[in-house]
Amino acid sequence: MSSGGHNKTHGSVESSRRIDIRTFQKAGVLKNSCYYNSSWTRNGRDMGSMKFEHLKGNDFITAMYTFTPNSTGEKENRNDIIMLGYITTGYGERAYFVCPKCGELRTILSFYNGGFNCRVCARLNYQSSQATKWDKTEMYFARIKKILERLKHTDTKDYDVWYVPKPKRMRYYTYERLIKQLHVFQQERNEWFNFTMVKKFGKHFNFERGLRNG
């Protein structure tokens, strides 16, 4: 029996209704007693909204919303408690959400199947990790091109170039970092492309020749 169902993901973080602790901090929600409204849209279409309440001094926020379970089809008014956790840093304290399911500290929680959970518990992926093999190849090309643009290379489509002179006025530290990133992305792109071709044509596929060996 296949175990694929257990590991199956339910979509992407980006397409889910999610809350980010950094947004709450930026709005000053965690320092005061206040309400905070959050809404979500996808392709210009309304995906819903929620109201959150935080009382000064409390280590939790309350999510207030209306939910309609598929099992009953009837609307329910809900008040869900989302605990907050803090980690001491050199600059003070950094706040996190506590995932209601696993108890881990998380920056982002996603609303899925009637409740807030972290990405792992909701079995959500980031869109970049869901990309097809060709999407991922294009992603590497885009990253290489961006670095070549920063290095002011005349041919930004010269994806295999190994050496690019340092642009004038660019710091050596920045230049060396960009060159290192360039080489890493080139190597990862080659390995990924080779992996997909071997998977498609067999283990005798040769990346340099782009053909199967006889």
Please write the tens of the pLDDT for every residue from 183-209: 888 888 777 777 776 666 665 555 444
Six token digits for residue 26: 């930026």
Q: Which is more confident, 141 or 14?
A: 141
Please give the pLDDT value at position 27: 84
Please give the pLDDT value at position 72: 77
CA–CA separation, 161 and 204 (whole Å): 26
Closest Cα partner for 84 from 109, 67, 65, 120?
109
Please write the tens of the pLDDT for every residue from 71-93: 777 888 889 999 999 988 777 78
Mean predicted confidence (pLDDT) in 129-135: 53
Q: For residue 144, with 0-12 CB atoms within 10 Å meaning exposed, 13-18 middle and 19 or more buried, which class applies?
A: buried
CB distance 179 to 187 below 8 Å: no
CA–CA separation, 34 and 164 (whole Å): 54
**Is pLDDT at 13 greater than 60 in this prediction?**
no
- Percentage of the chain modeled with pLDDT above 70: 73
Per the document, the length of the chain is 214
Query: pLDDT band at 6, cuts 50/70/90?
Result: very low
Q: Provide CB contacts within 8 A for 84, sequence distance 6+.
A: 30, 59, 60, 61, 95, 96, 97, 98
